[in-house]
Amino acid sequence: MNWSTKTWKETLPIYQSIIDMPYIKELMDGTLPMEKFQFYLAQDSIYLESFGRTFALIAARADSIQDSLAYIRFAEMVIVVEREMHESYFRSFNLTDTGCAEPACHHYNHFLKSTAALDAVEVGMAATLPCFWIYREVGDYIYKNHSANNPYQQWIDTYASEEFSVFVNQAIDICDAVASQCTEKQQRAMTDAFITASRLEFQFWDSAYYLEKW
């Protein structure tokens, strides 16, 4: 069994808690209050800039040139494409100011950047993977179960898209290839980073639902 399959199985309870949380349920049926979605958008915009920089850090440290190029493309996708998407959302949902990074966003950003900079590069790769993978799975789940005339349809379509899924599969494949060259201890460090990031995914959405600020 490859690293990603084992790690995803270990993370399933966290994923289940995410799709069961009020934010996801209300986003799916279109009843999520606009204020909570606006909070999420603002924090996600801040997060994505940091996430893109984290990919750039990993690209600089990757052993393989091909992996380095892949993470440069991930960084470009996150910083350019995702920011353009959010600018469109900002207009649609009357949001003009992102504000500051609130606690969950701040914690997640610093976990990713410190892991990418200070831990082994494979651990940094594993830490960034849940944002791709969990978003894809949650997006697919919402897409299959969402209500008609959902005000958040554009967001739903983006994360359930085939284009996004291609990036996710590439990131999973890279982590599996790198993990196959690692010791059991190194693979465990990768899994621990993946699990921590998955918990932070939960906290990110949960903080938006409860509008948690400093």
Residue 204 lies in a domain: yes
Domain that holds residue 174: 3-209
Residue 13 lies in a domain: yes
Spatial distance between the Cα atoms of 80 and 87, rounded to a whole number of angstroms: 11
Q: Is the pTM of this model over 0.75?
A: yes
pLDDT recorded at residue 85: 67
Spatial distance between the Cα atoms of 162 and 20, rounded to a whole number of angstroms: 24
Residue 33 lies in a domain: yes
Q: How many domains, the chain?
A: 1
CB 2 within 8 A of CB 9: no
Q: Tokens for 41, please give them.
A: 């958008």
Residue 52 lies in a domain: yes
Residue 187 lies in a domain: yes
Residue 214 lies in a domain: no
Torsion of CA 51, 54, 56, 57, to 10 degrees: 180
H-type helices in 62-212, by residue range?
65-76, 83-92, 103-118, 121-145, 153-159, 162-179, 184-209
Torsion of CA 38, 41, 47, 49, to 10 degrees: -130
For the domain that residue 191 is a member of, what is the CATH number? 1.20.910.10
Spatial distance between the Cα atoms of 123 and 136, rounded to a whole number of angstroms: 21
Q: What is the pLDDT along the chain (214 residues), one digit of tens a residue?
A: 899 999 999 999 999 999 999 999 999 999 999 999 999 999 998 999 999 999 999 999 999 999 999 999 999 988 876 677 667 778 888 887 788 999 999 999 999 999 999 999 999 999 999 999 998 999 889 888 888 889 888 778 776 677 888 999 999 999 999 999 999 999 999 999 999 999 999 999 999 999 999 9
Tens-digit pLDDT profile for residues 45-73: 899 999 999 999 999 999 999 999 999 99
Spatial distance between the Cα atoms of 184 and 89, rounded to a whole number of angstroms: 43
Spatial distance between the Cα atoms of 180 and 130, rounded to a whole number of angstroms: 19
